[in-house]
């Protein structure tokens, strides 16, 4: 480039021009050489990083598909480690470090295809549970697919009771059979979503099929003990997308597997990021994060300017994939445009871990008690 400039300068002599051109070439050559060295260095660094990524991706299947999984990790699983379990895997030793650090992991093809067949049609489920089973169903006004706000589908959010800070889902009890007859009706303005259906109390007949489709038995146990019965230990989500949940956290460890579909995409925020940038307010909003809920778009950045720094991790699950979603990680979930079923196993977190994280949220250590929460924020 320097050479071209010089040769356009009429006042300079031809020799100087020549020299400049030479110099320019030499200079460009130096840059090229430096650039090549940089490229090589970056390449080496990247392969080092790749090795680290592979190491994190615990017990990856030897060789086969490794390159592919490494690529997809960088494409859609920023920061979420992959875990592959095999028959001879020491599950507890693999899982415990994640649980201790409160770090999510994704287990790809955690459930083999052959064990997912049961969930692919409604008739089999209906036959199992019988005609009288009832479930809680969430209702929302269906998003028109043409509007920008609905790019990720219908948003199922808790509605605030006017004049109060109380909010609740528009949730109605329906027969499972009635729900199945209506939930795929795209012409209805009511969008129905069977969300967080407590299996043990509402559809106990599904426990055996779930057991038959569960990932390696000890995996679930390794995440923590079963929560008390008043706190659903097992729940199912069934709906036709596209639909999306609010950004919220849960007070239990969550292990969720997509059984049929459809993809579920989780957008995750670690507790520290949430406490710094997401204007969380446990006292008024409980486990919700209104900062990302009203619009579902980044317009909310006007009202919540720091929220633009809240960088999320996204991970998409296909049927057979499972995600460990640690306690107090904020998340929203999108179901793709399909019939999608997921099952989740709730587990009790370590008390000491909860205390540590609650301390971050509310600047004191007993935020879970009602009295402490009243002084929070």
The site for ligand NAG (CB under 6 A) is made up of 185, 187-188
Choice between 185 and 297, CB closer to ligand NAG: 185
The residue (of 12 and 185) whose beta carbon lies closer to ligand NAG is 185
Q: Which is nearer to ligand NAG, 145 or 188 (CB)?
A: 188
Work out how close the CB of 126 gets to ligand NAG at its nearest, in angstroms, rounded to a whole number.
Answer: 16
CA 224 to chain centre: 20
Q: Which residues pair with 238 in a beta bridge?
A: 194, 341
Contacts with 340 (C-beta within 8 Å, 6 or more apart), sequence order = 237, 238, 239, 240, 241, 258, 260, 261, 262, 263, 264
Phi–psi pair at 331, nearest 5 degrees:
-155, 150
The kind and range of the H/E element at 333 are strand 330-335
Rounded alpha-carbon distances, angstroms, from residue 1 to 9, 10, 33, 42: 13, 17, 16, 26
Q: Which helix (H) or strand (E) is 201 found in, with range?
A: helix 199-202
Place of tokens 């990932």: 215
Q: Report the nearest approach of ligand NAG to the CB of residue 183 (Å).
A: 10
Find the shortest distance in angstroms from Cβ 187 to ligand NAG: 5
Query: From the CB of 177, what's the least distance to ligand NAG, in Å?
Result: 13
Shortest Å distance, C-beta 188 to ligand NAG = 4
Asked if 322 and 111 count as a contact pair (C-beta separation under 8 A), the reply is yes
Residue in 271, 272, 265 with CA at minimum distance from that of residue 287: 271
Instruction: Please identify, using beta-carbon distances, which residue of 188 and 201 lies nearer to ligand NAG.
Output: 188
Q: How far is the CB of 144 from ligand NAG (least distance, A)?
A: 15
Q: How far is the CB of 140 from ligand NAG (least distance, A)?
A: 14
Closer Cβ to ligand NAG, 143 or 317, answer by number: 143
How far is it, in rounded angstroms, from Cα 195 to Cα 136?
Answer: 7
Sign of CA dihedral 133, 138, 142, 143: negative
Q: What six digits make up the tokens of 268?
A: 């995750």
Residue facing ligand NAG at closest CB distance: 188
Cβ proximity to ligand NAG: between 183 and 330 the closer is 183
Nearer to ligand NAG by Cβ, of 132 and 189: the residue is 189
């Amino acid at each position: 480039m320097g050479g071209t400039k010089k040769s356009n300068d009429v006042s300079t002599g031809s020799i100087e021009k020549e020299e400049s051109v030479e110099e320019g070439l030499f200079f460009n050559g130096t840059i090229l050489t430096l650039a090549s060295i940089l490229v090589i260095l970056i390449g080496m660094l990247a392969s080092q990083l790749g090795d680290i990524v592979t190491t994190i991706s615990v017990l990856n299947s030897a060789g086969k598909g490794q390159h592919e999984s490494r690529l997809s990790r960088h494409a859609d699983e920023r920061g979420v480690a992959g875990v592959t379990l095999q028959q001879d895997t020491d599950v507890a030793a693999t899982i415990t470090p994640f649980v201790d650090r409160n770090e999510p992991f994704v287990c790809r093809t955690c459930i083999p295809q052959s064990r997912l067949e049961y969930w692919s049609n409604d008739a089999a489920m209906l036959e199992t549970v019988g005609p009288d089973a009832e479930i809680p169903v969430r209702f929302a006004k269906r998003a028109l697919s043409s509007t920008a706000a609905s790019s990720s589908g219908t948003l199922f959010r808790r509605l605030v009771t006017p004049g109060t800070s109380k909010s609740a889902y528009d949730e109605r009890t329906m027969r499972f059979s009635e729900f199945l007859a209506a939930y795929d009706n795209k012409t209805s303005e009511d969008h129905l979503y069977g969300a967080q259906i407590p299996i043990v109390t509402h559809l106990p007949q599904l426990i055996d099929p779930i057991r038959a489709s569960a990932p390696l038995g000890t995996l679930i146990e390794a995440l923590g003990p079963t929560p008390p019965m008043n706190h659903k230990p097992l729940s199912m989500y069934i709906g036709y997308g596209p639909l999306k949940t609010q950004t919220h956290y849960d007070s239990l460890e969550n292990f969720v597997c997509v059984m049929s579909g459809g993809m579920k995409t989780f957008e995750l925020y670690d507790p520290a990021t949430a406490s710094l940038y997401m204007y969380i307010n446990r006292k008024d909003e409980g486990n919700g994060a209104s900062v990302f809920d009203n619009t579902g778009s980044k317009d909310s950045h006007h009202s919540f300017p720091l929220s633009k720094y809240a960088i999320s991790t996204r991970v998409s699950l296909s049927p057979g994939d499972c995600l460990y979603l640690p306690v107090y990680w904020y998340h929203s979930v999108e179901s793709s445009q399909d019939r999608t079923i997921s099952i989740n196993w709730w587990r009790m977190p370590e008390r000491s871990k909860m205390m540590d994280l609650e301390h971050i949220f509310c600047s004191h250590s007993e935020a879970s008690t009602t009295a402490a929460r009243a002084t929070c924020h």
